[in-house]
Amino acid sequence: MSASRPNLICTFLLILIAGNSTAIAQSPVSHVHGNAELNVVLMEKQLQVEFVSPAINLLGFERPPITDVESATMNNTIKQLQHGGWLIEGVPSTCQLSTEEFEAPFFEERESNKHDHEHESSKHDHEHESSKHEAEAHSNFRVRYLYDCDAALKKQLRILAFDHYNGIETLTVQWITNLMQGYTQLSRDNPVLYLE
Ligand SMILES: [Zn+2]
């Protein structure tokens, strides 16, 4: 792939990201407790980061909150994810950070779906039902941040997800810059992402 064709890479990138989101939304296969996913795009002065994690990694549970403590944990987690700024160290404070997308687990809707589902169960075949149950048994948080900066960003980013959430043991990272792309696995002992 030629380095002088950023447009081509951009197109490829969009396909890559769109493909990933679809896979995450529709397939429970990529949902592994203890693992979270990062999709990183660095285009000189712009850094886009998508973070996807099973709810249990961040909350310690993966069902509707029951106690007051669990409700507070849920609310604090949502606030932190929505505000951004917690995930990466090494981005200049002059960069403008915006949260472009945010999805919290839909525990309550899932409950009501369950009700409908029981009603409809006679209409569906068995195979379809069991796959739906599997998909409903797990929930993700998903958030996408955009850092808009005045100057080119560093190629080393320390990921703080492990410091904030004990439930995250590994981070599967797919990254792309205008020159290169890569795939890596980060951990608590190895939290620095090298985009080169
Ligand atoms: Zn799960």
Q: How many angstroms does the Cα of residue 132 sit away from the middle of ligand 1?
A: 14
Give domain status of residue 139, yes or no.
Answer: yes
Ligand 1 mean position, distance from CA 119 (Å): 25
- Domain enclosing residue 75, as ranges: 6-194
Domain assignment of residue 81, yes or no: yes
Please tell me the distance between residue 56's alpha carbon and the centre of ligand 1 in angstroms: 6
Question: How many other CB atoms are there within 10 angstroms of residue 84's CB atom?
Answer: 20
pLDDT at residue 20 in the model = 47
Cα of 9 from ligand 1 centre, angstroms:
33
Cβ 39 vs Cβ 21: under 8 Å: no
Within a domain: residue 110?
A: yes
- DSSP state for residue 188 in the 8-state scheme: T
Number of residues in the chain: 196
Has residue 154 been placed in a domain?
A: yes
Looking at residue 64, its pLDDT comes to 93
In a domain, 51, yes or no: yes
How much is the pLDDT for 108? 53
pLDDT of residue 184: 97
Query: What's residue 9's pLDDT?
Result: 45
Judged on CB neighbours under 10 Å (0-12, 13-18, 19+), 180 is: middle
Spatial separation of the C-alpha atoms in residues 172 and 36, rounded to whole Å: 6
In the reported structure, the alpha carbon of residue 135 is separated from the centroid of ligand 1 by a whole-number distance in angstroms of 9
80 to 10, 103, 167: CA distances (angstroms): 29, 13, 16
Encode the chain (196 residues) as per-residue pLDDT tens digits: 444 444 444 444 444 444 444 433 444 447 999 999 999 999 989 999 999 999 999 999 999 999 999 999 999 999 999 999 999 998 998 999 999 999 999 775 444 444 444 444 444 444 444 444 444 578 999 999 999 999 999 999 999 999 999 999 999 999 999 989 999 999 999 999 999 9
| Residue at 128 is within a domain | yes
Res 137: pLDDT:
72
In angstroms, the CA 123 to CA 56 distance is: 32
The total domain count for the chain is 1
Site of tokens 């990272």: 173
Whether residue 1 is contained in a domain is answered as no
For residue 61, how far is its CA from the centre of ligand 1 (angstroms)? 9
Q: Is 104 domain-assigned?
A: yes
Contact of 122 with 158, CB cutoff 8 Å: no
Is the pTM for the entire model greater than 0.85? no
